[in-house]
Chains A and B, each alone.
Chain A
């Protein structure tokens, strides 16, 4: 079971190293990790997606780090989660139109093109990206890079699950 944690930390040298050191020390696995500044000076936010059977222990160990200010776990229903992916799909002239049309259902932008491939930028929920790959993967994925997941807690009540591709990007 994957869990999303957002960790507010002091923006100081070595903070990320301390967190990853703790993970490797305690044999926790990080599935994805994204770091960036917040709107407050001297504060960064780390979004972690972890496979951790012992989530409570992991949260406590994070909190024990002196530079960690706050650890929040998000239930999938209350998390606004986003990832960005750059993916190069095999697209011969004969299939190019089909690939582009399918990709456009996901609001994917073409950011590079060659005689045999198209490269898309896709952003959205992890599910959105998975669905994109389910549909475009069969054409042949040549290369793929994903950002770590970022997340923020939802303020509103959960809106109905997105049914249309592209929605909830």
Chain B
């Protein structure tokens, strides 16, 4: 804790105040790219204990901050200059908004006197950010900086987390000021509800206790709230099966007997169907996303809904809730647990034998399936299973967006929260490489593996130069199927096989060479018999990033699948069922 006020040198500026404010918030790492308007802030950075990771593109810096935040639960910080620096941040900001990831973006702005004049590198950043942040600020007086930064961190990390942007004009960064300890006395409209209403907690318990076919539908909010232990205790106490959405992978251990895995468009048959046939659906920090519900009018038609969310606007947005509970998942789960214990011995959980027998039958009848020809080509699913087996699953996995992301979610067995980092809501291709870099900075002692596609990799791979120069030894698996696999799958299934703009070819780039050129170790594998060997090589490199190109079947499709907008009653297991 710093003293209330400090005697400043006479040249103490807004920039110094910014850095001291970030230190006060406990920031140790900033991801960023410098430029004209933010230049004043980069000078005191030299004297600050904060580490700056120099990204090669602001989008990369933003995704690094997201990877950092998803891997730790801390607020990720990204810094960029005005104009193009800020506009390049729009994708990570929207990504963080959709996935409720706490990040704070600091952007430089042209001098106050030049605002609105179409000055060099001017953009209306706070206006742009209005649509893709939880809140945004523009500093107009350097004296306000400690409070603005404090509010930004508070907003980013409390309630439903999300991105907050602070735009600071160049003259404000250079203004002489003093630093004062910040206070949170200026947010009259922001009071997130943390605790669920006791009456609703009781109503929820009544409903769950009577349920014959309950399902706990767990979303990313459980991870954000740090509620995985409470979820485990509650699921066991009420004896209810658990599905984990794409954002919640790792919130509940996949090897637990109550775990059904991921539901939805490419979810497991049993997870999707269990929701569909449930009589009580307990949504915990999930938002009834269209990738989960399919046609919302046909979704879980017989289920009464208990909807727990810290964001009241999510409750009733897609599906009316029978028992709405506004509150933080951890607090509500704790209240549900103590309510349950007050009622009975936990050992008296309803057995629900019929329901569990039904779930077992579905699991046996509709398992995840693929065929790996021993002579190749390699199937992504098979590679992921081998990687999981060889690492023992003891890794943090980051993914890009597309088929490989779905297979990673399906075939990796998650056991811990924050071991899965992906772009769920926005579906941002190119997320994996920078997010993995951010995660590795946050957790240097953990094995961080990006599972990426060739299309994704080509969008942000230059951040591997960041990784080599900053000595961040991430491991990148590039599944090269020669194109945009998921788009191609849709064209094959829904556009009569007319393939339009999906072919990237297998020839260029030469991935190992590209990797080597960026200072990484570059490897390639294209035969199933070489997989284990290649994985061992990847795992043996620890002094620098390593890229393994896995040449895979370009025709493989991702199943199960519920076609977009279709009813979850019809989970398609194979192509010939469509």
Contacts and interface: CB of A to CB of B under 8 A. Distances in A.
Given A57-B316, A60-B313, A67 B189 contact: yes
Given A10-B188, A57-B313, A66 B130 contact: no
Interface in A37-95: 56-57, 60-61, 63-70
Q: How large is the interface on B (under 10, 10 to 19, 20 to 34, 35 or more residues)?
A: 10 to 19
B130 A18 contact: yes
Contacts, number: 40
A10 B189 contact: yes
Contacts of A21: 130-131
A108 interface: no
Contacts of B127: 14, 17
Contact of B189 (A13, A25, A60, A68): A68
A94 B437 CA distance: 83
B352 to A, nearest CB: 34
A69 B317 contact: no
A151 interface: no
Given A9-B189, A10-B189, A17-B130, A66 B313 contact: no
B278 to A, nearest CB: 24
B155 interface: yes
Given A14-B126, A57-B317, A60-B313, A66 B131 contact: no
Of B126, B134, B188, most buried by chain A (CB within 10 Å of CB) is: B188
Contacts of B188: 10, 69
A10 B187 CA distance: 9
A87 B234 CA distance: 66
Nearest to B190: A66
B174 interface: no
B224 to A, nearest CB: 16
B131 A56 contact: no
A151 B341 CA distance: 50
A61 B130 contact: no
Interface in B504-548: none
A65 B135 CA distance: 8
Contacts of A56: 316
Interface in B296-323: 311-313, 315-317
- Among A17, A56, A64, A67, the most chain B Cβ lie within 10 Å of the Cβ of A64
Contacts of A10: 188-189
Contacts of B312: 60, 63-64
Contact of A14 (B130, B311, B313): B130
B151 to A, nearest CB: 9
B96 to A, nearest CB: 16
Nearest to B127: A17
B126 A66 contact: no
Nearest to B326: A60
Contacts of A63: 189, 312-313
Interface residues of A, number: 20
Nearest to A65: B189
A68 B191 CA distance: 11
Contacts of A69: 188-189
Given A9-B189, A10-B188, A17-B127, A66 B316 contact: no
Contacts of A68: 189
Interface centre among B155, B189, B190, B313 (most CB of A within 10 A): B189
Contacts of A70: 189
Contacts of B316: 56-57
Contacts of B126: 14
A39 to B, nearest CB: 16
Contacts of A67: 189
A64 B187 contact: no
Contacts of A9: 189
B528 to A, nearest CB: 48
Given A17-B130, A21-B131, A60-B312, A66 B187 contact: yes
A64 B309 CA distance: 13
Contacts of A18: 130
A74 to B, nearest CB: 20
A68 B188 CA distance: 8
Interface string B214-236: 00000000000000000000000
Nearest to A21: B130
Contacts of A14: 126-127, 130
A57 to B, nearest CB: 6
A31 B190 CA distance: 27
A66 B190 CA distance: 5
A64 B159 CA distance: 10
A153 B163 CA distance: 36
Nearest to B160: A64
A59 to B, nearest CB: 9
A66 B317 contact: no
A44 to B, nearest CB: 12
B130 A64 contact: no
A42 to B, nearest CB: 9
Contacts of B189: 9-10, 63, 65-70
Contacts of A17: 127, 130
A18 to B, nearest CB: 6
Nearest to B135: A66
Given A18-B130, A25-B131, A69-B188, 15 more contacts: A10-B188, A14-B130, A21-B131, A57-B316, A60-B313, A60-B315, A60-B317, A61-B313, A63-B312, A65-B189, A66-B134, A66-B155, A66-B187, A66-B190, A70-B189
25 contacts: A10-B189, A14-B127, A17-B127, A17-B130, A18-B130, A21-B130, A21-B131, A25-B131, A56-B316, A57-B313, A57-B316, A57-B317, A60-B312, A60-B313, A60-B315, A63-B313, A64-B311, A64-B312, A64-B313, A66-B134, A66-B135, A66-B187, A66-B189, A67-B189, A68-B189
Interface of B: 126-127, 130-131, 134-135, 138, 155, 187-190, 311-313, 315-317
Interface of A: 9-10, 13-14, 17-18, 21, 25, 56-57, 60-61, 63-70
Which 5 residue pairs are nearest across A and B when measured between Cβ atoms?
A60-B313, A69-B189, A66-B135, A68-B189, A21-B130
